[in-house]
Structure 1
Amino acid sequence: MRPALAFIFVFFALSNYVHGARILGLFPHTGRSHHMVFEPLLQKLAERGHHVTVASFFPLKNPPANYTDVSFEGIAKVGVETFDLNWFENPEFILRIPIIGSIYKQVIDFLPLRDMALNMCSKAIDWPPLKEALSKEYDVVLVENFNSDCMIGMLHVYKIKAPVVSLLSSNLMPWTAERIGATDNPSYVPIITTSFTAQMKFLERMENTFMKLFLSYWYRQAVQMKEQAMIEKHYGIKIPELSHLVKNISLILINTHHAFNGAKPLVPGLVEVGGMHLNSRREVIPEVSDLNNVYCLI
């Protein structure tokens, strides 16, 4: 057999022999609806031969052989809440004031996210199963980008140098774009808390700009700096600011699509993956019997 033919034969014989990557997934948010977006990706990675370790509040009931769950169950209450629609139909007086009411509601909606993040971080930094998982080596890390950067700080503490891929189950948070070098100019890119489109009027642009600047500042002061202080106090070391560490993220996958969310400027490191949580099964949507209360997985 000629050497060239022998090489081709060996190449095709070994083409299916690959080494799966060691993947760590960190999903500290308690909202079930968030994890429903990430779960299909994590399972598919395991099905394709990768070794997947996932830290979350929602361990799989029947995980694949190479899928390891690190459960956060017991650290915090899972985010399944009930919203009374009367709150929207009969709003407080301040909510009826133009612009001021809108700003007030956006701020109020974000405050619980701070409490959830700090409560989770304060317990996760000393959670033995998580510490054990972080002590191993990985080829890539997947981490949710929502209301906390505690896991980014933990990656630095445990000196994990693997590339970090950030995932969002929603549209961009007000503090997300800058960490990947993307543009989210509030004069034409509405933030997630508003109902505006790219065609904003002058007052809408003012409101959008104010909320973008305020929430970005609020997140750094109320969440990032406090999470950093928790980590430093617990481990007795000094770490870089979380607002700097998050800029080491290599890729952000965002659950949006321009057909629904409007066109916006993107960079190669910011990729829309809207609909990645969908499957081929066609299931009947259950009827809502009681419109006074709506169950929402936050």
Structure 2
Amino acid sequence: MIFKKIFFFLIILLDYSSGSKILGIFPTFVRSHYYLANTLMNHLAEKGHRVTVISPFLDENPAKNNSYQNVVLTGLDDLKDTVNMFDYVNTNELLFIVLSIKKSLEMTELVLNHTNVQYLLQSNEKFDLVIMERFVNEAYVGFAEHFNCPYIVLSTFGTNPWINVLTGNPAPPSYIPNPSMPLSSKMNFWERQLNTLMYIYVHFLHNFYAFPGQKLLYEKYFNASTNFYDVLYRPSLVLLNSHPVTNQPVPYVPNMIDIGGFHIKPRRKISKDLQIFLDEAKEGVIYFSMGSFLKSTQQSPEKHEIFLKTFSKLKLKVLWKWESDRLANQSRNIRIEKWVLQQSVLEHPNVRLFITHGGLLSISEAVHSGIPMLVVPVFGDQKINSRHVADQGMGLWLEYHDVTESTLTKKINEILYNPIYLENVKLKSKIYNDRLVDPLDVATYWVEYVIRHKGAPHLRIEGVNLSWYKYFLIDVIITILMCVFIAFYLICIVLRTISSFYFKCKCEKVKLN
């Protein structure tokens, strides 16, 4: 018996030692982003890899094989309570992008200067791979340089301008809208013009504001010998939380992989009281949540009153994610919960409508469960997500500043009593869930692929190494135009010479006569 135990111990030890050491960098204090990233990191740990995760959150239920380590950014989680994104609802998009870059630069330095991060950098730790979320935090590529290993980018909401530029991925503004703009792929002339101007504006900000700022932080905190831009433009892989149902189909270069919905797990058990509330809702349930970052309690009193009055007049029950113990003037059909196992609620057969802010995780879970949506976007990619939901017939959207009792009631009734929305989302749900391989297994395969093939440089296209004027063929176009101009100029000279000679001969002939 003792020999059998020793044998199994050696097998486990051999399996553990064969795993790679992976560093995950997910410093955002948006809990939904952390949850998404941590799903992947825990799965890698369960597969035998030794995982270290830098984030503001402590995973209290990590992989059970002791291969998961937290580096907690203490104090950063509290920053979310100082931000109210409802204050930015009416902020001009051009200004909002600038403010986002400014705040992201400050956040990046807070992370790099954190005591626990500095302790890790000064330790003798070694890693085989770095996985990081990319959102105006490009200085974090210094971790890959510091530990002399390849890195993978995890994009929590699909492809976007700051991801495409790092891989050389084509994203023509003629049919791919900027994520901050509520446009579809079928744009008219004026929308294409507006989208092109936004495309230029965003690239200008990245190249002359965001990237130079991140470069200074990279050089300040890593003392790396390799040029910042050389490291920046060499991600081995980009894992995209996207799918053609929840995101517009777009072209990808070989090192960009769709893994949309990889965070979705089998339905978990909810509290007994909530289960009874849902089971007894014979008329149906509307589930209302503004996500993990936005808080319903931070809405203006006017908007809060609109939602409250509208819900109180409905025959259906309403489950409202409300971040407080008390809701003033709460009607009998409304139940509040500070935190909800959202996916489990959406999968309940009595849930008929999901009113959401339009975060990609929420939309993915609604599509997975086949629940129609009313999207009320507030900032960022939520607007383009809401437009996509409406274009796909999976629901409707309503601008936050347009929310009134009348507009809200009209949209709710349209979705509830017009069967086309439920039919469409059920159809899209079948497509979304029709997978050859589970997306989490796809992500794991590609992570291990990069490790096996030493960064997999063969997947990167040459376009990422080209200067912008070469990539867009500006030098070629100028040369062609110059050649055309020179040819046209020479033709004009020849014609003028021939014309002059002709008239000269004609004049001499007249004189002779």
Instruction: Using structure 2 for the length normalisation, give the TM-score.
Output: 0.47
Deviations 1:183-216 (A, max 9, x none): 1111111121112122111111111111122112
Q: Is structure 2 residue 261 aligned with structure 1 residue 275?
A: yes
Residue matched to 2:127: 138
Conserved? CA contact 1:121–1:150, under 8 Å: yes
Q: 1:208 and 1:276 mapped to 2: Cα distance?
A: 30
Conserved? CA contact 1:198–1:262, under 8 Å: yes
Q: Is structure 2 residue 55 aligned with structure 1 residue 68?
A: no
SS at match of 1:215: helix
> Structure 1 residues 149, 281: CA separation in 2 closer, same or farther (over 3 Å shift)?
same
Q: Which deviates more, 226-235 or 26-35?
A: 226-235
Deviations 1:108-150 (A, max 9, x none): 3323322332222223333332233344211111011112112
Conserved? CA contact 2:140–2:218, under 8 Å: no
> Structure 1 residues 59, 220: CA separation in 2 closer, same or farther (over 3 Å shift)?
farther
Conserved? CA contact 2:130–2:144, under 8 Å: no
Q: Is structure 2 residue 113 aligned with structure 1 residue 112?
A: no
Find 2:232's aligned residue among 223, 242, 246.
246
Find 1:203's aligned residue among 179, 190, 193.
190
Q: 2:134 and 2:223 mapped to 1: Cα distance?
A: 26
Q: 1:77 and 1:205 mapped to 2: Cα distance?
A: 41
SS at match of 1:184: coil
Alpha-carbon offset, residue 44 of structure 1:
1.0
Unaligned runs of 5+ in 1: 1-12, 92-103
Q: 1:190 and 1:274 mapped to 2: Cα distance?
A: 19
> Structure 1 residues 165, 233: CA separation in 2 closer, same or farther (over 3 Å shift)?
closer
Task: State the superposition RMSD in angstroms.
Answer: 3.1
Give the residue type in structure 2 aligned to 1:109.
Answer: F
> Structure 1 residues 63, 37: CA separation in 2 closer, same or farther (over 3 Å shift)?
same
Give the residue type in structure 1 aligned to 2:80.
Answer: G
> Structure 1 residues 83, 133: CA separation in 2 closer, same or farther (over 3 Å shift)?
closer
Alignment map for 1:212-291 (pairs within 5 Å): 212-233=199-220, 240-242=227-229, 244-281=230-267, 287=288
Instruction: Using structure 1 for the length normalisation, give the TM-score.
Output: 0.78
Q: Which deviates more, 272-281 or 229-238?
A: 229-238
Residue matched to 2:43: 44
Residue matched to 2:436: none
Residue matched to 1:10: none
SS at match of 2:22: strand
Alignment map for 1:10-25 (pairs within 5 Å): 17-18=14-15, 19-25=18-24
Between Structure 1 and Structure 2, the one with more helix by share is: 2
Q: 1:31 and 1:177 mapped to 2: Cα distance?
A: 23
Q: 2:56 and 2:138 mapped to 1: Cα distance?
A: 17
> Structure 1 residues 220, 32: CA separation in 2 closer, same or farther (over 3 Å shift)?
farther
Give the residue type in structure 1 aligned to 2:33.
Answer: H
Alpha-carbon offset, residue 166 of structure 1:
0.3
Residue matched to 1:155: 144
Work out which of the two has the higher radius of gyration on C-alpha atoms and give 1 or 2. Answer: 2
Q: Which deviates more, 197-206 or 274-283?
A: 274-283
SS at match of 2:245: helix
Alpha-carbon offset, residue 280 of structure 1:
1.0
Deviations 1:37-68 (A, max 9, x none): 11211111111211000001112123232111
Conserved? CA contact 1:45–1:52, under 8 Å: yes
Conserved? CA contact 1:24–1:53, under 8 Å: yes
Alpha-carbon offset, residue 163 of structure 1:
1.9
Residue matched to 2:479: none
Q: 1:82 and 1:124 mapped to 2: Cα distance?
A: 21
Q: Is structure 2 residue 154 aligned with structure 1 residue 167?
A: yes
Conserved? CA contact 1:173–1:192, under 8 Å: yes
Alpha-carbon offset, residue 177 of structure 1:
0.8
Give the residue type in structure 2 aligned to 1:253.
Answer: L
Q: Which deviates more, 28-37 or 126-135?
A: 126-135
Q: Which deviates more, 190-199 or 245-254?
A: 190-199
Conserved? CA contact 2:167–2:233, under 8 Å: yes
Conserved? CA contact 1:56–1:72, under 8 Å: yes
Conserved? CA contact 1:42–1:52, under 8 Å: yes
Unaligned runs of 5+ in 2: 1-9, 275-285, 290-295, 305-321, 324-356, 360-378, 380-513
Percent identical residues: 25
